[in-house]
């Protein structure tokens, strides 16, 4: 895959093994459109059109995603529209309200007509088959208020990657309007659950962030839980039961290669990668206590970070790797603590009356820590600042657990269990709690872990 005509060329798309193109394969095969043809030309283009940092009191940006030209065009537009519908910040307009059919995606839409339905942006595009059989996708983003194009790119790829192209286009548009990183071109590892609750079978699985392209990574023979994505590779760390003590494993999702993490004298659980992908931080249970350890994946050296008689678990690094947030019952009940990445000097940050806090996860932007909160018999998911202030509960109910951050830090996924004989399902919500959407999975789903942006 390759794109041209961007204001910020991103050749590293090819570093994703899923795309299966080497740079050499690309060479000479692709010529592309003339550079200028998709370039924004407006002198009035703003750097962004919605300031997310101002908080929850925003108006979603109305955007019209027209059918892209070409046989595959409408399907692509459908994926993009569905993405925006779950983005909360963008509001895709109903196609039936569109004032015109786009016959030429390269020409400016009739701004006055689109203004009538209050569209702020119009997306046009086309999907064509290149002579070599590959898929060529172009999009243009038009600002209705000025009638000018403010973004436009072309991507060439194998036709099997059509969904990914739709996600990449979605990200480009989302970023252009909000000034934030996108999140649509990303995947989620999770646990697929089936069978009665007393003998539930759990399989490691991976899907696109919108629930498409599910692939199973384990067969359900061994009980597996809490997968976590490496931020820098195709590796997933998780806890697996088998013979002997349950342990933390790392699985390469491309090669299927699996290895146990360290040789610890007891159950290891609750793994998470360091931001550079070089270390695993996890809990080790010994006797009646659980403490935090790291293992360097290259040197295999292990380091003890905490030494308590209590339960320390669910560690998560700050994005700069300098600090660790975790939960501990050292003060009597589960609460959230922050300490330096080398251990020591843990400081409690959660203080709500009568509440227990667990599963803290540091946002990739660094601005928030997401958590599970138990209070008054209900389980909620919320966020707080790293100093413990600014707590905001995003969802609350019988049982919500285990938030994971979108790569841009603007959304969380978590699972919700109705209890009884039913099973959990995965949901996504924005960080302000303005919108919540189910992430469709075939069976029950739990323990989602959002991976990095692929492009």
Partner 1 sequence: MTFMISARSLKLVAVLAAGLAMGACSKNPNEDGSNSGFGSGLGAGAATPGSQQDFVVNVGDRIFFESDSTELTSTAQATLDKQARWLQQYGQYSITVEGHADERGTREYNFALGARRAEAAKSYLAARGIPASRLRTISYGKERPVAVCNDISCWSQNRRAVTVLGGANS
Q: Which residues inside 287-326 make contact with partner 1, applying CB under 8 A? A: 287-290, 311, 313-314
The structure tokens listed for 153 are: 């790119």
Q: How far is CA 215 from CA 192, 206, 428, in A?
A: 10, 5, 20
User: Beta-carbon neighbour count of residue 7 at 10 Å?
Assistant: 11
Residue 416 CB, shortest distance to partner 1, in Å, is 13
Shortest distance in whole angstroms from residue 304 CB to partner 1: 16
Q: Which 48-87 positions form the footprint of partner 1 (CB under 8 A)?
A: none
Q: Which is nearer to partner 1, 49 or 241 (CB)?
A: 241
Binding-site size, partner 1 (CB under 8 A) = 44
Residue 410 near residue 389 (C-beta atoms within 8 A): no
Which is closer to partner 1, CB of 152 or CB of 423? 423
Q: Does 199 bind partner 1 (CB under 8 A)?
A: yes
Sign (positive or negative) of CA dihedral 18, 21, 23, 26: negative
- Lateral strand order in the sheet of 279-286: 267-273, 279-286, 289-296, 302-304
- With respect to partner 1, which residue has the nearer C-beta, 79 or 412? 412
Nearest distance from residue 241's CB to partner 1, in Å?
7
Candidate residues 26, 130, 162, 223; the one interacting with partner 1 per rule CB under 8 A: 223
Nearer to partner 1, 173 or 412 (CB): 412
Residues 235-274 that bind partner 1 (CB under 8 A): 239, 241, 243, 245-246, 267, 269-270
Number of other residues whose CB lies within 10 A of the CB of residue 127: 24
In angstroms, what is the minimal distance from the CB of 22 to partner 1? 40
Selected from 359, 363, 441, 455, the binder of partner 1 by CB under 8 A is 359
For tokens 């958590």, the residue is 371
Tokens coding 30? 């692709």
- Is residue 2 within 8 Å of residue 155, measured between CB atoms? yes
Distance in Å, CB of 313 to partner 1, minimum:
5
**For residues 169 and 336, which CB has a smaller minimum distance to partner 1 in the complex?**
336
Paired tokens of 23? 């740079």
Contact 215, 248 (CB under 8 A): no
Distances (CA, A) of 225 to 140, 220, 285, 433: 43, 11, 16, 27
Residue 354 touching partner 1 (CB under 8 A): no
**In this chain, which stretch among 80-88, 149-157, 177-185, 197-205 interacts with partner 1, using CB under 8 A?**
197-205
SS3 (DSSP) at 13: helix
> Which residue, 27 or 287, has its beta carbon nearer to partner 1?
287
- Residues in contact with 245: Cβ distance below 8 Å, sequence separation at least 6, in sequence order: 266, 267, 268
Q: How far is the CB of 327 from partner 1 (least distance, A)?
A: 7
Angular region, 35: left φ>0, alpha ψ -120 to 50, beta rest: alpha
Provide the minimum distance between the beta carbon of 277 and partner 1 in the complex, in angstroms, as a whole number: 21
First-to-last alpha carbon distance for the chain, in angstroms, is 11
Looking at beta carbons only, is 75 or 311 nearer to partner 1?
311
* 202 within 8 A of 217, measured Cβ to Cβ: no
The residue (of 164 and 202) whose beta carbon lies closer to partner 1 is 202
Would you list the DSSP string of 139-204? EEEEETTTTEEEEEEEEEE-GGGHHHHHHHHHHHHHHHHHSS---SSEEEEEEEEES-GGG-EEEE
Annotate each residue in 392-421 with x if it binds partner 1 (CB under 8 A) or - if it does not, as one string: ------xx-xx--------------x-xxx
In this structure, are residues 114 and 93 in contact, taking their beta carbons and an 8 Å threshold? no
Q: Which of 151, 218, 285, 408 binds partner 1 (CB under 8 A)?
A: 285
DSSP designation for 68: P
Residue with tokens 């251990």: 343
When the beta carbons of 38 and 324 are compared against partner 1, the nearer one is 324
Binding mask 150-189 for partner 1 (x = CB under 8 A): ----------------------------------------
Nearer to partner 1 (CB atom), residue 105 or residue 402: 402
Residue 447: CB minimum distance to partner 1, A:
7
| Residue number with CB closer to partner 1 (91 or 374) | 374
Which residues would be at the binding site for partner 1 (CB under 8 A)?
196-200, 202, 223, 225-226, 239, 241, 243, 245-246, 267, 269-270, 283, 285, 287-290, 311, 313-314, 327, 329, 333-334, 358-359, 372, 374, 379, 398-399, 401-402, 417, 419-421, 447
């Amino acid at each position: 895959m390759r794109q041209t005509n961007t204001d910020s060329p991103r050749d590293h798309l090819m570093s994703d093994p899923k795309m299966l193109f080497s740079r050499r394969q690309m060479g000479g095969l692709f010529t592309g459109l003339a550079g200028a043809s998709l370039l924004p030309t407006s002198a009035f283009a703003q750097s962004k059109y919605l300031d997310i940092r101002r908080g929850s009191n925003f108006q979603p940006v109305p955007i019209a995603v027209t059918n892209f030209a070409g046989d595959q065009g409408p399907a692509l537009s459908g994926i993009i529209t569905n993405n925006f519908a779950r983005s909360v910040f963008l509001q895709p307009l109903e196609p039936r309200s569109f004032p015109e059919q786009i016959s030429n995606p390269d020409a400016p839409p009739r701004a006055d007509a689109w203004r009538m339905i209050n569209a702020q942006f119009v997306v046009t595009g086309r999907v064509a088959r290149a002579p070599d059989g590959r898929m060529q996708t172009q999009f243009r983003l038009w600002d209705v208020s000025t009638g000018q194009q403010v973004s436009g790119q072309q991507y060439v790829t194998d036709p099997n990657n059509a969904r990914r192209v739709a996600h990449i286009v979605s990200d480009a548009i989302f970023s252009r309007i909000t000034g934030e990183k996108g999140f649509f071109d990303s995947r989620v590892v999770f646990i697929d659950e089936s069978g009665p609750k007393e003998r539930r079978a759990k399989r490691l699985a991976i899907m696109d962030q919108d629930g498409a392209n599910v692939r199973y990574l384990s067969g359900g023979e061994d009980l597996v839980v809490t997968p976590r994505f490496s931020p820098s590779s195709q590796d997933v760390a998780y806890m697996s039961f088998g013979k002997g003590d349950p342990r933390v494993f790392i699985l390469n999702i491309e090669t299927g290669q699996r290895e146990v993490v360290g040789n610890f004298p007891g159950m290891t659980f609750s793994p998470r990668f360091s931001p550079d992908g070089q270390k695993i931080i996890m809990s080790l249970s010994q006797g009646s206590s659980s403490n935090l350890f790291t293992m360097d994946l290259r040197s295999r050296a292990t380091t003890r970070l905490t030494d308590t008689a209590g339960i320390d678990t669910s560690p998560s690094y700050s994005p700069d790797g300098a600090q660790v947030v975790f939960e501990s019952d050292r003060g009597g009940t589960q609460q959230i603590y922050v300490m330096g990445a080398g251990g020591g000097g843990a400081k409690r940050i959660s203080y709500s009356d009568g509440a227990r806090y667990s599963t803290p996860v540091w946002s990739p932007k660094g601005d928030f820590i997401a958590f599970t909160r138990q209070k008054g018999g209900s389980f909620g998911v919320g966020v707080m600042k790293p100093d413990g202030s600014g707590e905001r509960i995003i969802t609350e109910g019988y049982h919500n657990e285990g938030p994971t951050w979108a790569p841009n830090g603007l959304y969380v996924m978590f699972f919700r269990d109705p209890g009884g004989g039913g099973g959990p399902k995965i949901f996504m919500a924005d960080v302000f709690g303005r919108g919540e959407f189910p992430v469709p999975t075939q069976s029950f789903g739990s323990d989602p872990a959002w991976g990095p942006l692929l492009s």
